[in-house]
Amino acid sequence: MQNEPPRNLGFDDIEIVGTKIKLRPMTPADADAAWDLVHDNREILKWLLWDGPTDKTEFARRYAEDFPEDMRQGRSYRFAIEPVAGPEFAGSISVKLPYYPNSADLGYWLGIPFWNRGYMTEAIGLACYFAFTCLDCVRVSSTVFSDNMASRRALEKNGFIVDGQLRRDVFKYGRWQDTYFMTLLSEEWC
């Protein structure tokens, strides 16, 4: 069975609310705040599998066109992370549907002003809720750099386990990085 987007769920309006944060679909209005938080910020970018945005116009176009289209097509669901206390863009989490059926891959980042508040741990939990209940996934995975212990702990707090370490998996900032491949199965999710 291939991953297909659930029908009639109104993804443009979906909001998943936790105790600290909520997830909502990315909008074109989020592009400026995201750019300000992540562009040229090596403290965030060093932990990401991508090198970050380089062109503000192209970055804004992706928020206006690519992200909503990916969501409509059921390829990827990109959510803004927003504190419940106020409508402020804090970061992003995506639930991507790769080529194999009933599996999702998480990618995420959080702006530095929002670190150490438990936001990402809760965002991962809400994204897993979405993947398991709305997309009928049987597995959710994420890849983290082996020295990114904060990200690994946020995943472990949600029940993820390390399936393996990939040596010299990503070439970033002039050196090879090892990564952990971590997964959570639907029957382990609580």
- In this predicted model, what pLDDT tens digit does every residue of 58-108 receive, in sequence order? 888 888 888 888 888 888 999 999 999 988 999 999 999 987 779 999 999
**Could you tell me where the beta strands, DSSP code E, fall in 121-174?**
139-145, 161-172
Q: Encode pLDDT of 135-158 as tens digits.
A: 999 999 999 999 999 999 999 999
Helix (H) or strand (E) holding 183: strand 175-185
- Give the contacts of 8 (CB within 8 A, at least 6 positions apart): none
Q: For the whole prediction, is pTM greater than 0.85?
A: yes
**CA distance to 29, 30, 39, 135, 141, per residue, from 105 (Å):** 25, 22, 23, 12, 5
* Angle at 135 (CA atoms; ends 130, 140), nearest 5 degrees: 70
